[in-house]
Every structure is written in C-alpha cells, then in structure tokens.
Structure 1
C-alpha cells in the first residue's frame, strides 16, 4: 500500500513454539530478517529487529502468560485472544522501534520514527490479528 505496509512476518516469531530449541529460534529469526533485508535493501535493519524481538520474546511471554509460560506448557495458538493481541502489540512495538531507529538512524528524525512505528505498527497488529483468527486461532474448550 505504499506508505503503510504491514509487516506480517512477525507472526513467525510470535507464534514459534515455546518448547523448541532457543538457539535454532534465534538463528531462524535472524535468517528471516536477513531474507527480508535482501529484498527490501535495508542493510540489516530487519535482521537486527527480528533478532532483538526473538531475544526479548521469553520476557514478553513470562510477563503476559506468567506461570503458564514457566511450565513450558504454553500453546499460543490456544491462548485467549486478548492475551495474543497484547503479546502481538508489545512484539510489534519492540520490533518496529528497533527497525525504524536503524532505518532512519538520526536523532533529529525521532518524530518520523515514532510516526512510522505507530502507523505501520497499527496496520501490522490489525493484519496479524485477522490472519491469526482466520487461519490459526482455536479457543480453549
């Protein structure tokens, strides 16, 4: 859509299984970001932002899901929709702030960074929730 382009590859990082190997998750997140960098010519900004999000994700899961995350019994695909939206919103905020700070890399353009984080972040959250509900969400029953 030109100016506002939702970033949906974050769903891979957010929905990656909790109980899998952490090092492989970090490497896959980096490679995913590097692949996007290759096609968008952003010089490693997506790779750095994806790796940052993958590194911070356990803290976000512990913050949002509490004891359910510590027992390694967490299934994000079966979690309540409000918790998923909170996880996605925090993940998008962290990823987009890192991404646009690296893309602009100029403190005088901090308003542009915040504006892009807000608008692209809202569209990414919207698209992420729509895709999650359409293709993957199963409520606890």
Structure 2
C-alpha cells in the first residue's frame, strides 16, 4: 500500500471521527459548530481518480448525515464541492495546476486559505440552503454560512498546519 493511499485513508477516518465525536459536540454561541470533514475534499490529491473522489466525498457526507440526521444535506453539499473543486483549483492555482503535479499540502498557506474559503463557501451555501429549504429563511442561510464558515475556515487552517503542511521553500 503506497503512502498516498494510506494518508488518504487516515485523513478520511480521522476527519470523520473528529467531526462526529468532537466538532458536533461543540457549539459556540449556541449554534456555531465547525465543519472540518470538508478538509478531506480540499486536500484530496489532484492526480487521483475523479470517480473514486466523487464517491468518497458523497460517502463522507452521507456518514455525517447519518450522525446529524440531516437527510442528505451533507452528502449533497460534499458531492457538489467535490464536483466544483477543479474549477476552484483552476481559480486559485491557475491553468497549469494539472500539469504541475500540484501537491496542495506543499502549496503556500495563502493559496490553501483561498481554496479553503471558496470551498467552504460553496459547501456551506448548498448545505444550509438544503437544511432550511425555505426562501423566507435566506437571511438564516447567509448567517449560518458566514459564522459556521468562519469557524470552519479557522479549524481547517489549524488542521492543515497540523497535518504536516510544508511550504515550498
């Protein structure tokens, strides 16, 4: 088993367990619960099989849905993020991200932060639109996207650094 596959398996399980058993139990100001499992989707290697990536992202969201009883909202938001990630990578890293054999774990912190912010924005808007599913709740959707998004970005950067970020020097 190669080290990339092992790293992905460990990251998948660790982020899932962290989300379910730690982050879901923490609520700041009564409703802000950071969503950290999407760091797996952001950090997934660019050069791996796209179909397995989409399936893993869906499965990750589905497992979180099972524990949070959110009826598929996390699965849909995770799959959407996985589907649009190539567009986000192109926006953040430019046209040549595929030919340069991009390693997100070795990219500069500001690039990762931009990718994470865009990913969190896409994920959280879809998630809270599906959870509230009512046009009269649009302010609630935006509020949750902003506040939970900020906490998710903060925790995502902390995890990125803890997972062994190494900037190209």
Compute the TM-score of the two structures, normalised by the length of structure 2.
Answer: 0.81
In the alignment, structure 1 residue 101 sits paired with structure 2 residue 129: yes
SS in 2 for 1:121: helix
Distance 2:95 2:108 in 1: 15
Q: Does 1:91 align with 2:99?
A: no
Distance 1:126 1:138 in 2: 18
Matches of 1:14 and 1:136, distance apart in 2: 15
1:40 has 2:50 as partner: no
After superposition, the Cα gap between the structure-2 partners of 1:22 and 1:72, relative to the gap in structure 1 and judged at 3 Å, is: farther
**Matched residue of 2:157: which SS?**
helix
Whether contact under 8 Å (1:19, 1:72) holds in the other structure is no
* Aligned residue in 2 for 1:26: 54
User: Which of 140, 143, 163 is 1:115 aligned to?
Assistant: 143
Over residues 90-121 of structure 1, what are the superposed CA-to-partner deviations in whole Å (9 max), with x where a residue is unaligned? 00000000000000000000000000000000
Count of aligned residue pairs for this structure pair: 141
Instruction: Kindly report the root-mean-square deviation, in angstroms, between the aligned alpha carbons of the 2 structures.
Output: 0.9
Could you list the structure 1 runs, at least 4 aligned residues long, displaced by more than 2 angstroms after superposition: none
Asked whether the equivalents of residues 42 and 103 of structure 1 are also in contact (C-alpha less than 8 Å), the reply is: yes
1:134 CA drift (Å): 2.2
Q: Which runs of 5+ in 1 are unaligned?
A: none
Alignment partners' CA distance in 2, 1:21 and 1:10: 18
User: Contact 1:18 / 1:72 at 8 angstroms: preserved in 2?
Assistant: no
User: What CA distance in whole angstroms lies between the structure 2 residues aligned with 1:68 and 1:79?
Assistant: 14
Residue in 2 that maps onto 1:131: 159
Does residue 6 of structure 1 match 2:13? no
Q: Tell me the distance in 2 between the aligned counterparts of 1:67 and 1:43.
A: 37
Contact 2:89/2:97, CA 8 A, preserved across alignment: yes
Determine which structure has greater relative contact order: mean sequence separation of CA pairs < 8 Å that are 6+ residues apart, divided by chain length: 1
Q: TM-score, normalised by structure 1?
A: 0.97
